[in-house]
Amino acid sequence: MIDSIFDDKPEIAEECGIFGIHCKGEDVSKLTFFGIFSLQHRGQESAGIAATDDGKTIKLHREMGLVTQIFREEILQELTGHAAIAHTRYSTNGASVARNIQPMVTHTEKFGEIAMAHNGDLVNADEVREVLKKKGAEFESTSDSEVIMKIIECSDADNIIDAITEVVNTIKGGFAVVLLVGDKVYAFRDPMGIRPLSLATMGDDNFVVASETCAFNTIGAKYVREVNPGEILCLDENGARSTRATPKKEEAALCCFEYVYIARPDSNLYDVSVHAARRRMGAELAKEYPVDADIVFPIPHTGTPAAIGLAQESKIPYMEAVIKNYYIHRTFIEPTQQLRELGVRMKLSPLTESLRGKRVIMVDDSIVRGTTIGPTIKMIRDAGAAEVHVRIASPPLPFPCFYGIDTASRKELIAARMSVEEIRQYIGADSLGFLSLEGLLKAIGVGHDKLCCACLDGKYPIEINKEMREKKYLFDEDVKGK
């Protein structure tokens, strides 16, 4: 995915990363730092850690910025404790301002001080907020996370498991949550398992949860399993204990875009390697759209595994042909028109010797708004490519997401407005092939009954009310229901 550095938002904005750890008698601040650092790709706006050593006081540090900028040695020394939760944030819902940074901490009468970090978006936050206001709740932020906190604060339940059960049965949407209550860490997931969350162990009775398994590799934890949809886990000095907030369902709806773009390639989801799934997406693309060409190259870095898979399947040489400047993050510098046109070149630079006179296959993971792929193709042609064939490792994306991934509104999505041939002409490619949904499912190796593919096929696994849909220009006739 090629994001313009001058867009206010990237093409697909990652969501958030969450992490929770309980290690008996050990200080976990540095492990928490490394855990959340390995989830940096899921959100680069802000990050925070909440830790406790006595179960009575929560130490909190959170700031705008990247994990390594925020957590210096002296700050980690203040965050000592054997239980901690952490968060790295991209704001899909709620403004990108300091008061919305997570973890959030609040004082409750029944459970004392609690901290929470949350990943995902709720589809009924406004309704729940109104109900809670009538019960006397006062809101300080605009984020969904505060809605979850207030349900716990206002709950009549006299134990935290019942209060969490009330949360899971009240809110609707995609969510994965970690809570620090007393000296225990709680972790839970929405009943369809839309947002990912996994469990690992660090020796006897010490447990860790994280949005992605790559965090376990970084801190030397051993993967155990995924947190089940609708399950509540409690991590404490006795190990990890499980309760159910909702009855177990046969079907689930893990976000398929985790495999396409969001998750780090060294993570596993449903025990499937994300890197291997992306390579298979490329192999499927080669079968679906064969073409004579001299080289295959990726848009780095999310297009790389698919390009490798396509090259292996088609027996066309794989080559690097564009170099990415990894130091570009979101910028708020107001660009001039000339700079806007140069924007793609600031992020990607062509390798002329790879491209000159060649018929090339350019592989990317997805096209969302389609604003930057045209200038990229022009850059490839200007560098001397004779033909540019574009292959996309996911189907066209004509529907917006309501469950925590910022994919823009329906009117901004190029596939909602144009056919594949119209997109090809618009971006100036010699040929264009999007992987079919069947090809994507085959590459992932998981059935549609276990995945959400709503932004691709309009079959939303959790109903979205009319008001919310219309905010993203999704109307009655577009909705199919899963």
Closest distance between ligand SF4 and the C-beta of residue 434, in Å? Answer: 15
Give the residue from 82, 313, 85 showing the smallest Cα distance to 210: 85
First CA to last CA distance, the chain: 27
Closest CB to ligand SF4 among residues 70, 392: 392
Closest C-alpha among 217, 38, 59, 82 to residue 48: 59
Of 61-69, 254-262, 268-276, 468-476, the segment contacting ligand SF4 by CB under 6 A is 254-262
Amino acid 168 reads V
Q: Which of 16, 23, 255, 401 is catalytic?
A: 16
β-pair partners for 472: none
What are φ and ψ of residue 127, in 5° steps?
Answer: -60, -45
CB of 256 to ligand SF4, least distance (A): 5
Are the beta carbons of 143 and 100 closer than 8 angstroms?
yes
**Which of residues 6, 71, 257, 318 is near ligand SF4 by CB under 6 A?**
257
Active site residue 16: yes
Q: For the window 301-330, what string marks contact with ligand SF4 as x by the rule CB under 6 A?
A: ------------------------------
Binding segment (CB under 6 A) for ligand SF4, from list 196-204, 223-231, 249-257, 463-471: 249-257
Binding mask 181-200 for ligand SF4 (x = CB under 6 A): -------------x------
Which positions from 431 to 460 touch ligand SF4 by CB under 6 A, shown as an x/- string?
---------------------xxxx-----
Tell the smallest beta-carbon distance from residue 45 to ligand SF4 (Å): 19
Contacts of 215 (CB under 8 A, 6+ apart): 17, 19, 35, 36, 38, 39, 208, 221
How many other β-carbons are positioned within 10 Å of the β-carbon of residue 265?
A: 17
What token pair was written down for 452? 């959400």
Cβ pair 446, 270 in contact under 8 A: yes
Nearer Cβ to ligand SF4 (255/319) = 255
Please, what is the minimum distance in Å from the beta carbon of residue 196 to ligand SF4? 10
Cβ-based nearer residue to ligand SF4, 374 or 445: 445
Q: What is the DSSP string of 416-472?
A: HH--HHHHHHHHT-SEEEEPPHHHHHHHHT--GGGEE-HHHH---SS---HHHHHHT
- Tell me the closest approach of the beta carbon of residue 381 to ligand SF4, in angstroms: 32
The rounded distance, in Å, linking the Cα atoms of 176 and 224 is: 17
For ligand SF4, the closer of residues 119 and 141 by Cβ is: 119
- For position 260 contacting ligand SF4 by CB under 6 A, the verdict is no
Q: Which of residues 379-408 bind ligand SF4 (CB under 6 A)?
A: 401, 403, 405, 407
CB of 422 to ligand SF4, least distance (A): 22
What does 171-216 look like in DSSP terms, one character per residue? --EEEEEEEEETTEEEEEE-TT--S--EEEESSTT-EEEESSTHHH
Contact 126, 58 (CB under 8 A): no
Number of residues that bind ligand SF4 (CB under 6 A): 13
Among 181, 255, 277, 414, binds ligand SF4 (CB under 6 A): 255
Q: Which of 81, 173, 174, 303 binds ligand SF4 (CB under 6 A)?
A: 174
In terms of Cα–Cα distance, which of 116, 57, 98, 103 is closest to 81? 57
Binding mask 197-236 for ligand SF4 (x = CB under 6 A): ----------------------------------------
Residues tagged active-site: 16
Q: Which residues bind ligand SF4 (CB under 6 A)?
A: 174, 194, 255-257, 401, 403, 405, 407, 452-455
